[in-house]
Amino acid sequence: MEHLPAEAWVGPPAPRRTGSWPLALTLAAVSLFTTVTLGGVFYLGSRTDVVTDLPPLLLPETIARVWGDPELRGWGLRFALPTLFILLCHELGHYLVCRRRGLPATPPYFVPAPIGLGTFGAFIRIRGAIRDARELLDVGVSGPIAGFAALVPILIYGVAHSAPTPLVSPIAGEDTGLVLYLPGESLLTRLLIHLFHGELPADVILNPHPFLLAGWVGMFATMLNLLPLGQLDGGHILYAALGQRQRAWTLPLWLTLAAAGLLWPGWWLWCVVVLILGLRHPRLAREHETLDPPRRLLAWAALALFVLTFMPVPIREVAVGFP
């Protein structure tokens, strides 16, 4: 979600362009195709009971093999549909609050990807300046809350239907193993694993159900958006709560994110993304207005969602052998 700074909110009102629904639907259809295709590949690469030579790239061979295999296509659909549903709910949360607040906004646009999971997420564009802290909080927190509400039942089902499986160590010096791409664990995931499967030994993992992988994508999107920096949802929420005092926290929080790159190098990419979006949050038209008590509770709720979904290492590679 991105919006115009308050400095742009002057002069005669601009035409209220609200985006293109045909474009939104086209991008959604393309994203469904790419996410089914590459989601099927990701599913194979995260399990110990199957082996695949398919790369996570949208190549003609990958398309032909996934869409020509009813079972693999089915797994891809079981991953793609809940994943796109979670992302859609997140953006619809922003969109509906914008409509209620009278802010012109585009429909949710999915971003298809030819690599990885088949999608780079979704976004809306707010074509008007957010005027005060209450409006900023409402718009900023609505997406993460809606997305979280969508992902929880999907994640519960996925964890419950994933099978605990012992890992087999690869034989030293022999090329007889494979590499698994395991989704990271958040506090929420660990609580659900303990609830459904008890305390897993260190050498036991879950062979994930596609819904678990979809819930993981939803948590990943939620925690990234809730990073309390710049123009991300978390940055909007922190600015709504603290006003210009938020700027004193910007550099320490960015340096903390950079330090997290020692655990997972992907955090360094997000350091760059935040710099491109801008570390300094734009001023609001009515800076003097502050949050009321219910909205302060919403800001604390957003922090709780961030803690529940945060994964220090969002994805990891594990070398295993064949049983």
**pLDDT tens, residue by residue, 68-120:** 999 999 999 999 999 999 999 999 999 999 999 999 999 999 999 999 999 99
Task: Enumerate the H helices of the chain as residue ranges.
Answer: 21-45, 60-68, 70-101, 133-160, 187-197, 210-225, 233-242, 247-260, 266-277, 293-309
User: Considering the domain boundaries, does residue 11 fall inside one?
Assistant: no
Distances in Å between the Cα of 155 and the Cα atoms of 100, 181, 231, 303 are: 30, 18, 28, 20
Report the pLDDT averaged over residues 136-165. 96
Q: With bands split at pLDDT 50, 70 and 90, how would you rate the model's confidence at 11?
A: very low
**pLDDT tens, residue by residue, 223-233:** 999 999 988 99
Alpha carbon of residue 231 to chain centroid = 15
User: Considering the domain boundaries, does residue 175 fall inside one?
Assistant: yes
Q: What is the pLDDT of residue 169?
A: 63
Q: With bands split at pLDDT 50, 70 and 90, how would you rate the model's confidence at 5?
A: very low
Query: In the beta sheet, which residues pair with residue 132?
Result: 286
Identify the residue whose tokens are 């459904």.
Answer: 196
Q: What is the pLDDT of residue 4?
A: 45
3-class secondary-structure state, position 256: helix
User: Considering the domain boundaries, does residue 243 fall inside one?
Assistant: yes
Q: How many domains does the chain have?
A: 1
Neighbours of 320 (CB within 10 A): 19
User: Considering the domain boundaries, does residue 93 fall inside one?
Assistant: yes
Q: What is the pLDDT of residue 174?
A: 53
User: Considering the domain boundaries, does residue 98 fall inside one?
Assistant: yes
Q: What is the pTM of this model?
A: 0.90
**pLDDT tens, residue by residue, 255-311:** 999 999 999 999 999 999 999 988 888 888 888 888 999 999 999 999 999 999 999
Domain that residue 118 falls in:
2-6+16-320
CA distance linking residue 81 with residue 197, whole number of Å: 26
Q: With bands split at pLDDT 50, 70 and 90, how would you rate the model's confidence at 6?
A: very low
- 2 or 97, greater pLDDT: 97
Q: Give me the DSSP letters along 83-147.
A: HHHHHHHHHHHHHHHHHHHT--BPPPEEEE-SBTTSEEEEE-EEEEE--BHHHHHHHHHHHHHHH
Question: Residue type for 154, please?
Answer: I
User: Considering the domain boundaries, does residue 310 fall inside one?
Assistant: yes
